């Protein structure tokens, strides 16, 4: 016999200017079921992609090619050393060879870097910073805070929306890097660290959901345990164990995201931005015999 269960479960949710605390509208198309809210997110991302594709970028200001040779600092570093071979000197030379300061913090770019397509990497990075700052504030006050204080609830809202922005910008970033085939020119590792960022971020979001200590976390943990168990991960991670979930969410996994993002962004700087598909031959320098190995 069906029993009616009231959805009004007591606690008043701290409302935003627009109240979303009511049942969503769901679309059913064949086997597809999607909520209006998720559909809006997906439509917004596609619209962002199209807008970034079509809207003209700010007019580039041309600069002459810099006089300095990028290999020069490496040579200088070598010359400045005492002459005694040291590990420290070797590491310094390596750093300067792959990432001379002008490459790490550039004040010029190839002229073709003139499209909104390029801003989604930085947007992802800055959204991640907002996620981390708001997450640190939540961690500082402990897991009960955001349920019982409206300040806590607001910080939680910032955390949630920063995550939506982070995942959204990353998705559009991924789409663009695919259509630009940005792995060309020995940039495969950049693409691959990007994909790892994406996968680890999904896992990070998951542990966040099950660390909420609310209705969502109960149900998501209960549902997820079967996929975990069946794949063997369940022998290491028990999603029903709140303590384990929250520890993973605030230590190991964010550390992994940060390391991956750092490697990813440094790789972009090491290789420089990928040239356009079918760039003119005279714009691409032919590799010197020894540097072809380095680029590989």
Partner 1 sequence: MSAPEAQVPAHVDRRTEARRRAAAEGQPWRGPLRHYDIIKEATIAFVVVAVLAVALAALFSSPDQPPVTLRQWANAQPAGFTQVALSELQGTSTSATYGPPFNGQSGSVQSLGPVSIQKLLGVAWPLHPDLAFVIDPLSTLPTDPALGSAIRTWESAGAAQQKSWTAAYAKEVGKLGLGASIPSRVSGAGPVPQLLSSLLAMARTGALDAALVSHGTFYSSDYTNAIMFLGDSATSQDHSYWNEIVTAEHLQGSQWGVMNETGSWPGQPWLWLYSMWYQVPPMNSSHNADILVVAIVTILSLALLFLPFIPGLRSIPKWVPLHRVIWREYYRQAPR
Binding-site partner at residue 265 among ligand HEM, partner 1, none, CB < 5 to 8 Å by type: ligand HEM
Judged by CB under 8 A, the chain residues 234 through 263 that form the site for partner 1 are 234-236, 238, 240-244, 246
Interface residue with partner 1 among 22, 82, 88, 140 (CB under 8 A) is 22
Judged by CB under 8 A, the chain residues 261 through 290 that form the site for partner 1 are 271-287
The CA-based angle 170-176-182, given to 5 degrees, is 105
Contact between residue 264 and residue 197 where contact means Cβ atoms under 8 Å apart: yes
Dist. CA 95–CA 76, nearest whole Å: 13
Contact between residue 51 and residue 115 where contact means Cβ atoms under 8 Å apart: no
Interface residue with partner 1 among 51, 136, 195, 262 (CB under 8 A) is 195
Judged by CB under 6 A, the chain residues 116 through 155 that form the site for ligand HEM are 118, 120-122, 124-125, 128
Half-sphere exposure of 245 (CA within 13 A, CB side): 25
Dist. CA 212–CA 143, nearest whole Å: 8
Interface residue with partner 1 among 173, 187, 249, 264 (CB under 8 A) is 187
Interface residue with partner 1 among 139, 158, 256, 259 (CB under 8 A) is 158
Binding-site partner at residue 91 among ligand HEM, partner 1, none, CB < 5 to 8 Å by type: none
Question: Of 72-80, 90-98, 105-113, 253-261, which part binds partner 1 (CB under 8 A)?
Answer: 105-113
Judged by CB under 8 A, the chain residues 117 through 146 that form the site for partner 1 are 117, 119, 122-123, 125-127, 129-130, 134, 146
Interface residue with ligand HEM among 74, 135, 146, 190 (CB under 6 A) is 190
Give the nearest distance from C-beta 153 to partner 1 in angstroms: 7
| DSSP category for residue 21 | -
- Alpha carbon separation from 114 to 99, 103, 117, 121 (Å, rounded): 23, 18, 8, 14
Give the nearest distance from C-beta 97 to ligand HEM in angstroms: 19
Give the nearest distance from C-beta 113 to ligand HEM in angstroms: 8
The CA-based angle 260-265-267, given to 5 degrees, is 95
Contact between residue 27 and residue 39 where contact means Cβ atoms under 8 Å apart: yes
Dist. CA 78–CA 291, nearest whole Å: 18
Question: Is residue 274 a contact point for ligand HEM (CB under 6 A)?
Answer: yes
- Which contiguous run of DSSP H or E holds residue 28? strand 26-29
Question: Is residue 207 a contact point for partner 1 (CB under 8 A)?
Answer: no
CA max distance for the chain: 87
- Which contiguous run of DSSP H or E holds residue 84? none
Give the nearest distance from C-beta 39 to ligand HEM in angstroms: 22
Token pair belonging to 151: 């300040």
Dist. CA 8–CA 3, nearest whole Å: 15
Binding-site partner at residue 148 among ligand HEM, partner 1, none, CB < 5 to 8 Å by type: none
Binding-site partner at residue 261 among partner 1, ligand HEM, none, CB < 5 to 8 Å by type: ligand HEM
Dist. CA 114–CA 108, nearest whole Å: 12
Positions in the binding site for ligand HEM (CB under 6 A): 118, 120-122, 124-125, 128, 170, 173-174, 177, 182-183, 187, 190-191, 194-195, 197-198, 201, 261, 264-265, 268, 273-274
């Amino acid at each position: 016999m069906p029993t009616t269960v009231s959805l009004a479960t007591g606690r008043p949710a701290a409302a935003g200017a627009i109240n979303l605390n009511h049942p969503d509208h769901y679309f059913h198309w064949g086997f597809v079921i999607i909520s209006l809210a998720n559909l809006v997110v997906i439509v917004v991302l596609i619209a962002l992609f199209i807008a970034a594709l079509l809207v003209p970028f700010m007019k580039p200001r041309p600069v002459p090619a810099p006089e300095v040779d990028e290999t020069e600092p490496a040579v200088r570093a070598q010359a400045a050393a005492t002459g005694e071979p040291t590990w420290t000197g070797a590491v310094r030379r390596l750093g300067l060879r792959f990432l001379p300061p002008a490459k790490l913090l550039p004040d010029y770019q190839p002229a073709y870097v003139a499209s909104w397509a390029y801003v989604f990497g930085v947007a992802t990075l800055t959204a991640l910073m907002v996620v981390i700052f708001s997450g640190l504030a939540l961690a500082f006050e402990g897991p009960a805070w955001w349920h019982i204080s409206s300040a806590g609830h607001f910080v939680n809202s910032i955390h949630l929306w920063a995550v939506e922005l982070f995942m959204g910008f990353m998705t559009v970033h991924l789409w663009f890097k695919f259509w630009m085939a940005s792995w060309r020119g020995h940039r495969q590792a950049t693409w691959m660290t990007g994909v790892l960022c994406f996968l680890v971020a999904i896992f990070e979001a998951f542990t966040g959901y099950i660390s909420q200590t609310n209705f969502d976390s109960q149900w998501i943990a209960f549902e997820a345990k079967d996929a975990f168990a069946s794949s063997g991960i369940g022998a290491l991670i028990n999603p029903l164990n709140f303590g384990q979930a929250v520890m993973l969410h605030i230590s190991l996994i964010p550390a992994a995201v940060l390391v991956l993002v750092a490697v990813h962004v440094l790789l972009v700087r090491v290789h420089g931005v990928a040239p356009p598909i079918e760039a003119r031959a005279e714009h691409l320098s032919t590799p010197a015999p020894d540097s072809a190995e380095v680029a590989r």
